Chains A and B, each alone.
Chain A
């Protein structure tokens, strides 16, 4: 079984915001991937963006620059 590790998880109000995050991160060469919102964070079934914890500042700056609204930022084991 894959070992869980601490990750940065960003949740959004809409799926479209999650998809937009994937687009801007790809164009900025920032690593990460879309994952279902971890069940520990929400009973909803949307998508979230998962990346390295060290990239928090870069990521939030990128989201702000692209006016992508986030619901929350979490550090959790994925």
Chain B
């Protein structure tokens, strides 16, 4: 079934993704983090020992499911194509940058939409930065930016990331080797089987509908085509209804317990970084996982860059902290962006501009 040949089907795909996110939130995933690619990759990096932040370590089955869902559906529909060779190291750097920007804001574009649907005004402010970043990336494309074409590769090359995900799943289910948070966001999750099924279905919907947050804005800017924004509307609508029905909709900025901070400038700049880097890399964090699942080694390298970026964020103190209630004193402790994080964010934006305007299509 083609989920992108009509606007109605795109909306259905978005609604389907929204229902999956709502079910996972209901089944126990952290508040407003029902499905966050950046946070979940960060948790998985922690579980594999890439960083030692004890509160964010869990091999999220959703990430495994996303890659395998896209892999399975693309194999079944004959759309699997092993490709690679389009500036892999630049894509690795873009993956690192995407993760740093996400962990300064505290969420990927998908979580930004989920936070928006829960009334988090910080996420609405961050949307300005994300749209501006994606717009800057679109301007770079208009100016001739290109990382060069990808080429067909040996079939096995595209199998590597899905195989690694199967390996992590086996380690998670059958061994005690992986690290596992005993408190904090990493300890809060839906049952493994629900997370895995949710990830598989989400991955299949996303592969068929080509769901992409950065691509939606890129297409709107460059082609006045709003099709890719339709599923995002569906996802937002379902989560809005869920949050209102569950009493989780709070229109505010300084809300404790939702893993967010209220530093507007850095919310905007963090998501500006993500939007810019995602357009240069050819897709948002979710889309990178899906493309990797359907055989793109270039996207798989970007995903590895995100893992590396997650480790950097927690090893070097770049990740922001969320507003929380002190359990002993009952005082509200405001979340904050670290000085290291601010420096890293500025460096990331500068690198994005260098990549965007130093890699031009060869003129005839």
Binding site for B on A (CB under 8 A): 13-17, 19-20, 33-36, 38-40, 43-45, 47, 66-69
Contact = CB atoms under 8 A, between A and B. Distances in A.
Contact of A36 (B141, B219, B361): B219
A35 B226 CA distance: 11
Interface string B345-360: 0000000000000001
A57 to B, nearest CB: 20
B82 interface: no
A34 B220 CA distance: 12
B232 to A, nearest CB: 14
A38 B5 CA distance: 8
A15 B281 CA distance: 11
A66 B142 contact: no
23 contacts: A13-B149, A14-B146, A14-B361, A16-B145, A16-B146, A16-B361, A17-B146, A19-B144, A20-B144, A20-B361, A33-B223, A35-B223, A35-B225, A36-B223, A36-B228, A40-B5, A43-B74, A43-B81, A43-B210, A45-B215, A45-B282, A47-B222, A47-B223
B225 A36 contact: yes
Nearest to B83: A44
Contacts of A40: 2, 5
Helix, strand, loop or mixed for chain B's interface? loop
B146 A15 contact: yes
Given A14-B146, A45-B212, A45-B215, 18 more contacts: A13-B149, A14-B149, A14-B361, A15-B282, A16-B146, A19-B142, A19-B361, A33-B223, A36-B219, A39-B3, A39-B210, A43-B74, A43-B210, A44-B291, A45-B210, A45-B228, A45-B282, A66-B364
Contacts of A44: 291
Contacts of A68: 364
A39 B147 CA distance: 23
Given A43-B207, A43-B294, A45-B283, A19 B141 contact: yes
B364 A39 contact: no
A44 B142 CA distance: 19
B263 interface: no
Given A45-B212, A47-B223, A39 B5 contact: yes
B120 interface: no
A68 B364 CA distance: 8
Nearest to B74: A43
Contacts of A66: 364
Q: Which of A39, A40, A67 has the most CB of B within 10 A?
A: A39
B148 interface: yes
Nearest to A33: B223
Interface string B21-44: 000000000000000000000000
B287 interface: yes
Contacts of B150: 13
Contacts of A17: 146, 361
Contact of A67 (B2, B147, B219, B364): B364
Q: Which of A38, A45, A68 has the most CB of B within 10 A?
A: A45
B27 to A, nearest CB: 30
B4 A39 contact: yes
Q: Which of A36, A39, A43 has the most CB of B within 10 A?
A: A43
Nearest to A66: B364
Contacts of A69: 149
B141 A15 contact: yes
A44 B283 CA distance: 10
A43 B228 CA distance: 13
